[in-house]
């Protein structure tokens, strides 16, 4: 008897905080490009729980508050505060060129962030990305509450997160379904 194993692509689930780090440039942009390539080629099965999609859409527009962007904005603000109290020569030689540079860097950071957000949107909305809807699955909600009450992961840290539990349990449930759907002949 010949055994046939249905090999599925490797499944990958990425938490919201990682998507946000990828979008704001905290992680190497090459990771995003590699992820997109792997999803398009079907080398991995990207799993996107409904909770991650919800959190991403809620938080992606706040990426303009990245630490790097805040630093440039604070520097520009400091220059603007002293601008009116400075003589014309100092303004022309020092403040205006630095202000111009800072404005360009702010625009560049915003543009780069928008580009990364667009790339992430392409990845999470890709036809090969598996979107997991929690629907009204009382089982998943019940499990999340039980973990919380017992103080088990992901609730063992001081910051309890029902969202993290929903993400974990929905991915786990999908993986179990995929394992039971494999056929051996």
Task: Look at residue 185 in the predicted model and tell me its pLDDT.
Answer: 30
Distances (CA, A) of 2 to 5, 29, 180, 185: 10, 44, 20, 7
pLDDT, tens digit, 9 for 90 and up, residues 75-100: 999 999 998 888 999 889 999 999 99
What letters, b where the CB count within 10 A reaches 16 and e where it falls short, cover 25-51? beeeeeebeebbebbeeeebbbbbbeb
Task: Look at residue 179 in the predicted model and tell me its pLDDT.
Answer: 47
The answer on pLDDT for 12 being more than 80 is yes
Task: Look at residue 62 in the predicted model and tell me its pLDDT.
Answer: 82
Going by pLDDT thresholds of 50, 70 and 90, the confidence category of residue 34 is very high
Q: Are 117 and 125 in contact (CB under 8 A)?
A: no
Q: Are 1 and 91 in contact (CB under 8 A)?
A: no
Task: Look at residue 76 in the predicted model and tell me its pLDDT.
Answer: 93
pLDDT, tens digit, 9 for 90 and up, residues 167-177: 767 776 665 55
The CA distance from 5 to 182, in Å, is 8
Over range 67-81, report the average pLDDT: 90
| Closest by Cα among 12, 35, 23 to 110 | 23
């Amino acid at each position: 008897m010949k055994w046939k194993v249905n090999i599925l692509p490797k499944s990958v689930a990425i938490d919201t905080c990682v998507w946000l780090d990828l979008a704001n440039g905290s992680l190497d942009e090459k990771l995003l490009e590699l992820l997109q390539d792997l999803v398009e080629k079907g080398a991995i099965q990207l799993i996107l729980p409904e909770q991650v999609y919800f959190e991403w859409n809620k938080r992606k527009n706040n990426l303009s508050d990245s630490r790097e962007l805040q630093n440039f904005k604070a520097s520009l603000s400091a220059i603007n505060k002293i601008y009116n109290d400075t003589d014309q020569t100092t303004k022309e030689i020092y403040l205006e060129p630095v202000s111009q540079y800072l404005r360009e860097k702010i625009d560049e950071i915003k543009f780069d962030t928008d580009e990364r957000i667009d790339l992430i949107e392409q990845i999470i909305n890709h036809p090969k990305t598996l979107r997991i809807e929690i629907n009204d699955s009382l089982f998943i909600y019940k499990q999340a509450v039980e973990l919380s009450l017992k103080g088990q992961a992901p609730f063992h840290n001081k910051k309890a997160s029902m969202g993290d539990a929903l993400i974990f349990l929905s991915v786990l449930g999908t993986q179990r379904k995929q394992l039971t759907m494999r056929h051996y002949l």
